[in-house]
Each structure stands twice: as structure tokens, then as C-alpha cells.
Structure 1
Amino acid sequence: MTVTSLSSALHAKITARTAKAGVVGLGYVGLPLAMAFARAGFTVTGFDIDPSKITHIDQRESYIEAVPTEVLRDECEAGRFSATCDFTRLADCDIVAICVPTPLTAHRDPDLSYVARTAEAIAKTLRQGQLIVLESTTYPGTTDEVVKPILEKAGLKSGRDFFLGYSPEREDPGNRQFHTATIPKVVAGDGEDAASLMQAFYGATVSTVVPVSTTATAEAVKLTENIFRAVNIALVNELKLVYDAMGIDVWEVIDAAKSKPFGYMPFYPGPGLGGHCIPIDPFYLTWKSREFETPTRFIELAGEINTAMPHHVVNRLAEALDIRCGKALSRSKVLLVGLAYKKNVPDIRESPSLRLMELIERRGASAAYFDPFVPEIPSTREYADLKGRRSIDWSEEAVASYDAVVIATDHDDVDYAAISRLSPLIVDTRNVFARKGIASKAIVKA
């Protein structure tokens, strides 16, 4: 078949909702995306190497907050969604979306091993007329320089035999205003036919499609969004340190500054960066920029500032224990409130709370945590020693038994009034007590 006939055939399937979609990687990005495809009327197969996820799906149980169990159950029982560990079934899919992790190595270089292995698995069953889409966040050029050569090893060519595209995920865990289908979707294809198919398929799934000229441009869009946040958060973190030395409350400054209706956008300081995007994505660009001998000073400085924030919090904690309580950190019991990287979600990916716990214990203190969303610390790449630790059972007696409480994540479902009454020292990294109008001499901002 000619490329035109292959493209027309897939277009027709997309329009009729008879195209079969596959999603590789059923995590925080992949499972919501699979549900969006299914709810748009496509038959979807999810693929994952973790058999426990398949078991949950077979039992009609969601393990991702953004996907309610009833939605998962409805799509499964309607026959629009199923999941498997059998990657040979990729051959049945007309469209395959890759939603696998893209972490950093210990040296902050991109780790594309998950993407490469997934592309190799797809290549084994790749056939004419398929559309392969990378959604994982990565540096500009990955789709063309990494994914495309792997897929073409078997002899089929992008733009002639199959179609290749990139569309960056934009998930925001805990966001009640937007979900996968209502977040504008940036799309790009390797060639005109692929670009047209990307617009047709995602246009059938989400409310707004934003086409860009190349896959590298689409990859750069996602990095730009997260670098913007990383740099501005670093700025307010640095301002916090400067203003604190001057005796000025940075939170009051930001509240007043944001009253300006133009020319200012508020960002807020914290104990460090967390989540699957902001602490990682900027370094994909700094790595790629070396190839072009172009420095990325702002990005690298922002990374240094944000990475140093947990150290600042622990130093502030040690200082406050010494001055206010006459006790060394090494002889203290510390309770971290909030393990998730952001409020009201169970997501601990790259959470600064894990780093805080590690640093506190390195200083000889005893550290525990309370988080109503994270009953137990799961396996993580960087903090294997913390796996299996459990949140304390909340009680006034338990809270009162700690020498200090550190507010690392400002979940709504926490009794802050009780903490202010019971704890001799509170290190508040989120300004939650001031926002709630709770005053206490025990509170130290950090």
C-alpha cells in the first residue's frame, strides 16, 4: 500500500472510532490517557511490565487518584479497556502511545532506557499503517534520534510504512479543574501524514489540539513549561532566604505583589521541588545543550537553589531546636507532616519530604511522618532505605511526643490547630498556619 492509502485507512478508522489504541505504561500518565481514549469511543489495550497493575485492572480497581474506580469499571465492562503484560498484542493496535518514565541518572543525565526498551518491544510487532506516539517528557530530538531509529531497524520506514508522532503529557495530579480530556494537547508528527493523523486522533480525544511544526518543537514545549516553573520557584526560594535575613516575611511580600493585575505572576517557596516533572525535566535540556556548546546558566542555577532547600529547612530546624528548646537536633524526635510532593495527593515522586527525612536522620535525629494520603512509603529509586515505613496513627498524644513538627506538605485534611497547641516547635515551610489564621509562638517559618 502507498503511504497515502495507509494514512487514509487510519484516518477512516479514527473517524469511525474503530481504530484500536494501545497505551504502554499504566502509571500517572498512561492510565488517565487510556481512559480518555476509551471514553472517546476507542477500544484500548493497556500494557505494563508490572503484573500488579494488571491485577488491579482485572479486578476493576483503580490505583491512580485521577481515574475513579467507577470510571475504570465502566470502561472495562463496556469492553473498551483491558490490560495485559503480553507485549505481542501491540500488533493488534493501530495507534500506540508510549507513556513510560524518563528519570535522571545519578549524574543527572537523561535515562531513556525505558523509552528505548519500549520502542524495541514495539519494533518486534511493528506493521504498516500504525501510528506510534511518544508522550514521555524528554529532550528535543528524542523522537527523531532515539525512537525512530529503533523502530526502523526492522526495515519499515517512518512516513512511508508507519507514522510517528510526539505529544507531551500535561497531567497535574490533584487538579480538580482540568483532566486529561480538557487540557489542551500539543501534537506533532514526523511528516505531514503523521501530523495530520496526530491531529485527527487527539482531536477525537481531547477538547483542544495545539499542532506544532516538528516533534522536536513539541518536546521543547514541555520542557519550556516546566523550566519556567523551576526557575521562578528557585527565584522565590532565593528571595525567601534574602528576605528572611532582613526580617521580612516573603509570604507577605508575595501576597501584596500579586495584587498587581498585570506584569506579575505569584510563585511560592517551599522545602524543595517534587513531582515527576519540575525537578527532572530542566536537566534534560541542560544535557542536550552541551551538544550545541550552549550554556544554560539560569536552569542550572535554579537547580542548585531548589536542590539546596531541604538543607536550609534542616539547618533552620536545628537552629530553632537549639535556640528555642535548648536541645540538639541529634537528640530530638521530629515529625514530618506531609510526605507527598504536593497537597491533597498520594504522589511521592521526587518528594522533598523524603530528602528531609534522610537529612534529619543523618544529623542523628529520629524522624517519623504523618500523611493521610500516604499510609506507607513505597519502593523508590533513591530512598530504598525508607521503603515500608508507615505514617504514624494520628492522635494528640502521638503529636505531643515529638520535639518538633516540620510542615513539609500542606494537606487540607490535617488538624493544624491541634499541632499548634501540642508541639513545642513547628517549622512551617508552606505558610499554612498564617494562611489559616493560626497563631502560635512555637511556629518558625522556613
Structure 2
Amino acid sequence: MNIVKKLENKEATLGVIGLGYVGLPLAVEKARAGYKTLGFDIQESKVKMVNNGENYIGDVVNEDLKSLVESGLLLATSDFAKVAQADCVCICVPTPLDEYQQPDISYVEASAKSIVPYMHKDMLIVLESTTYPGTTEELLKPILESSGMKCGEDFYLAFSPERVDPGNLVYNTKNTPKVVGGITEACTEVAAALYESILAAPVHRVSSPAVAEMEKILENTYRNVNIGLVNELSLLSHKMGINFWEVVDAAKTKPYGFQAFYPGPGLGGHCIPLDPYYLSWKAREYGFHTSMIEASMMINDKMPEYCAERVAKILNRYKQSLNGSKILVLGVAYKQDIDDYRESPAIDVIDELEQQGAEVRFFDPYVSNYNYKGKSKNGENELTTELLRNVDLVVITTAHSNVDYNFVQKNSKYIFDTKNALKHINNRENIELL
């Protein structure tokens, strides 16, 4: 296999389609490993920023990006004809849900079709975008073979699920183990050779792309189901007058058989809230209903509405209507200490409150504004005493570590803490937990 020799000798040119939260860090790691790397994106703004050495992804080190661009190892482009120069191409494009909660794989399909005119002998194509089991074999393979080349002989095709945890200070693209499943054994080995040459982590080979695709779905569905469980138990515990956060902390003292998950206002990010829908959609093709998974999805999807109901009850306790009240939401990022608000439940909570007539403002040290349902909303520039004292209720929806929660507690009338961010504060007279 000439491609394997090229990889061993660092003579291969590598490509990444999609320069987002997955694609840009991967392109940077490829370039850092000494390969000439081409990053493809249809958004000219991203292309321009990369080529200027301007980083827009939190998990990428600014100095690394600038150095790699200046050295000529990394180049971004919107010209897909340059795919012809690449020996290996990884597809890292979005796989969202459509308005009917069904998989939208149009970006994956468009990426595959954009590769076809520029395919050449010994080329490796790897899909990294999260999708339903069967996508690589049923969708990508026929599109790529329309070039006249045969998979496993003329070119190599595999699936290797992205594993990105924004804000994780321990695990990143470089040191997170990789799973690889190719159409043929040769496809698997070529794809494994690629990742083994750029990552400082083991590469786990599986027997097919479908196994690798299902493995990724399992990772995130596991979290979805367990979060659904703790969310439901937190609702019950509230009715019973039990602090469920204390329950979880007690349970995690067991050194085996238990992993701690915590309740919250819902699920956020691109993977955990969406991946179970991919599996449920595909399962219907086989007349199978993923009842446990769908139940957890229903619980998690209802949490923003439940949080709005709790806000209304808190205000009602103090003889105030939700309609017309002034509310400050702390945190719109989907998890702490990052600027990513994709699928953030905090934004759904804000939407629920505004629909019921509340005047909602937000402060997030990482997110100054966001777009939702075609509308843009600007946040507060600073968390001040005046801001806190002039609202009727503060709702904490993201537990950023750089927020002074003692300051928040001292200057707020009432607080609804959906993330247990105030757990270390002793004076809890104005605090109510989810």
C-alpha cells in the first residue's frame, strides 16, 4: 500500500473537510505531526481566519495554529478541487436533526459528492461525523464508487467517530483513544495507520464501520439515559423534600458499580441530545422501538419547561407573577467554562420564560450573544450589584467556575440554582435547588 509508506515517511498530504469543533483541532494535530494539511470549509470567514492564524476554537492553542500556518504545514481553503492533492481526507461536518427530529446527513452527502471528481488511486476517506449505523456503507460507499473506483482496492473507506469534549483539560484530540472500522480489513489498517501516525493514544480496530458507528451512538446514549434517570429522580426528590444532589454525592462514595451523573435544566452540545434520535430513527427501519432511550429523551427534553414552571412557583411564593417579572439567567453555554452554546438547554429555558411574559436578561463570561430561532440576543457586559438587585430572580443554568457565586448570593433577592453552583455557600435563605 503506497499510502501507508507515504504516511510512514510523512510524505502524505492530509485533508479535513469541515473546520469546526472537530475538524480544526484534527487538522492542527495532523499538521503538528509533520504532514502538509489542507482544511476545507464552505465558510469563507473560517478559511480566512485560519489562514491568518486566528483561532476560533477553544481547544486549539493560538500559538500552535499561527506557527503551523506560517510554516506552510496548514492551509485552509474553500476550493474543493484541492482535494485532488490529498492522500487522506477526513469528513468532519455537522450532522444535525431536521425540524422533524430526523437525521440530516445532507452535509455528509455533499462532502462525499465533492470528493468524487478529485479521487485518485490509493486515497483514504474517513467519516468522523456522528451518524446512524450504516451511513458509511449505505451512503458514502456508493457515492464514492460512482467515481469508477472500487472500495478496498482502488481507494480506502472507514468510519472513525470523533471524540471531542470541549473544555476538557485532560483529554483532547491528541491523547484520546481512537476507534476505527473500515469497509474491508485493508481499509481498517490504512485508517489505523493514519491515526497512529498523528495521535499519542491507542487505536482500537473494529470489524466494520457499522460497529464503529454504533459504538459512538452507545457512548452518548449511555450518558443520555443516565442523565434522564437522575433528572427524573430529581423531580421525585423535590416532591419528597429530599436534596437529590446530596443523594448523588452519597452514592458516589461507593467505589464500584456506580458512576455519578447530575440533574440539570436539560441536555446540551452537539452529541448527547442528538445521537439517540439517530438510533431511534434507524431502529424503526427494523420495526424496533428503543423504548428506554426514548423515555430518557422525553424526560431530558422536558427539563427546560420544568425549570420554567419551577421559576413561576418560586415567584408565586413571593406573590409575584412570572408574566412581567425581571429574570437574570447566569450562563448560556451548554457546559461550564466553554463558549459553545449549541443545543444549550439554558437558551430553551430563556425561551420558555419569555413566552410566558418574563423580561429575561443573561450574563455569561464566555458568550456575549447568541442566535436562536433566527433571532439574536445580547448578554450583559458585566455582573454588577445593580444588575443583581434589579431583577426579581436569578436562574443559574451553567456553573462557570469564574463567576463569584458568593457575590451573586449576597446581592440577589432569590436564586434558582439548576446546577448546584452554590453548594459551598452556607447562607441558603434565598437559594432553591433544582
SS in 1 for 2:268: coil
Counterpart pick for 1:103 among 84, 87, 96 = 96
**In the alignment, residue 384 of structure 1 is paired with which amino acid?**
G
1:330 aligns with 2:330: no
Query: Which residue of structure 2 lines up, in the alignment, with residue 250 of structure 1?
Result: 244
1:384 aligns with 2:374: yes
1:405 aligns with 2:405: no
Query: Which residue of structure 1 lines up, in the alignment, with residue 72 of structure 2?
Result: 79
Give a deviation string over 1:215-243, Cα, whole Å, max 9, x none: 00000110000000000000000000111
Counterpart pick for 1:18 among 11, 21, 28 = 11
Q: CA deviation at 1:190?
A: 1.1
For 1:17 and 1:279, the matched residues in 2 are separated by 38
Give a deviation string over 1:215-274, Cα, whole Å, max 9, x none: 000001100000000000000000001111111110010000000111111100000000
Percent sequence identity is 45
**In the alignment, residue 259 of structure 1 is paired with which amino acid?**
T
SS in 2 for 1:180: coil
Query: Which residue of structure 1 lines up, in the alignment, with residue 260 of structure 2?
Result: 266
Question: TM-score, length-normalised on structure 2?
Answer: 0.98
Query: Which residue of structure 1 lines up, in the alignment, with residue 409 of structure 2?
Result: 420
Asked if the contact 1:369–1:392 (Cα under 8 Å) also holds between the matched residues in 2, the reply is no
Asked if the contact 2:364–2:379 (Cα under 8 Å) also holds between the matched residues in 1, the reply is no
**In the alignment, residue 73 of structure 1 is paired with which amino acid?**
K
For 1:111 and 1:427, the matched residues in 2 are separated by 36
1:441 aligns with 2:429: yes
Give a deviation string over 1:26-63, Cα, whole Å, max 9, x none: 00000001111111111100000111111111221100
Alignment of structure 1 residues 139-178 onto 2, 5 Å: 139-178=132-171
Query: Which residue of structure 1 lines up, in the alignment, with residue 273 of structure 2?
Result: 279
For 2:21 and 2:6, the matched residues in 1 are separated by 28
Flag as ranges the 4+ runs of structure 1 deviating above 6 A.
Answer: none
Q: CA deviation at 1:67?
A: 0.4
Q: Alignment RMSD, CA only? A: 1.0
For 1:427 and 1:390, the matched residues in 2 are separated by 19
1:187 aligns with 2:180: yes
Q: CA deviation at 1:303?
A: 0.4
Q: CA deviation at 1:179?
A: 1.0
Query: Which residue of structure 2 lines up, in the alignment, with residue 5 of structure 1?
Result: none
Query: Which residue of structure 2 lines up, in the alignment, with residue 4 of structure 1?
Result: none
Q: CA deviation at 1:440?
A: 2.6
Q: CA deviation at 1:90?
A: 0.4
CA separation of 1:392/1:334 partners in 2, compared to 1, >3 Å: closer, same or farther? Answer: farther
For 1:106 and 1:438, the matched residues in 2 are separated by 45
Counterpart pick for 2:229 among 225, 235, 251 = 235
Counterpart pick for 2:352 among 337, 355, 359 = 359
CA separation of 1:305/1:291 partners in 2, compared to 1, >3 Å: closer, same or farther? Answer: same
**In the alignment, residue 44 of structure 2 is paired with which amino acid?**
P
Query: Which residue of structure 2 lines up, in the alignment, with residue 199 of structure 1?
Result: 192
Question: TM-score, length-normalised on structure 1?
Answer: 0.96
SS in 2 for 1:331: coil
CA separation of 1:438/1:89 partners in 2, compared to 1, >3 Å: closer, same or farther? Answer: farther
Q: CA deviation at 1:388?
A: 4.5
For 2:416 and 2:256, the matched residues in 1 are separated by 33
Asked if the contact 1:329–1:365 (Cα under 8 Å) also holds between the matched residues in 2, the reply is yes
Query: Which residue of structure 2 lines up, in the alignment, with residue 3 of structure 1?
Result: none
For 1:155 and 1:368, the matched residues in 2 are separated by 57
CA separation of 1:327/1:177 partners in 2, compared to 1, >3 Å: closer, same or farther? Answer: same
Q: CA deviation at 1:438?
A: 4.1
Q: CA deviation at 1:154?
A: 2.3
1:33 aligns with 2:26: yes
Asked if the contact 1:331–1:365 (Cα under 8 Å) also holds between the matched residues in 2, the reply is yes
Give a deviation string over 1:346-377, Cα, whole Å, max 9, x none: 00010001101110000001111000000121
Q: CA deviation at 1:398?
A: 1.3
Give a deviation string over 1:117-160, Cα, whole Å, max 9, x none: 11110112112211000000001100000111111122122112
For 1:391 and 1:163, the matched residues in 2 are separated by 50
CA separation of 1:59/1:438 partners in 2, compared to 1, >3 Å: closer, same or farther? Answer: farther
Gaps of 5+ in 2: none
Counterpart pick for 2:338 among 337, 342, 345 = 345
1:116 aligns with 2:106: no
**In the alignment, residue 75 of structure 2 is paired with which amino acid?**
S
**In the alignment, residue 374 of structure 2 is paired with which amino acid?**
A
For 2:110 and 2:234, the matched residues in 1 are separated by 43
Q: CA deviation at 1:439?
A: 2.3
Asked if the contact 1:103–1:280 (Cα under 8 Å) also holds between the matched residues in 2, the reply is yes
Query: Which residue of structure 2 lines up, in the alignment, with residue 320 of structure 1?
Result: 314
Query: Which residue of structure 1 lines up, in the alignment, with residue 120 of structure 2?
Result: 127
Asked if the contact 1:374–1:391 (Cα under 8 Å) also holds between the matched residues in 2, the reply is no
Q: CA deviation at 1:77?
A: 1.7
**In the alignment, residue 432 of structure 1 is paired with which amino acid?**
A
For 1:239 and 1:349, the matched residues in 2 are separated by 26
SS in 2 for 1:182: coil
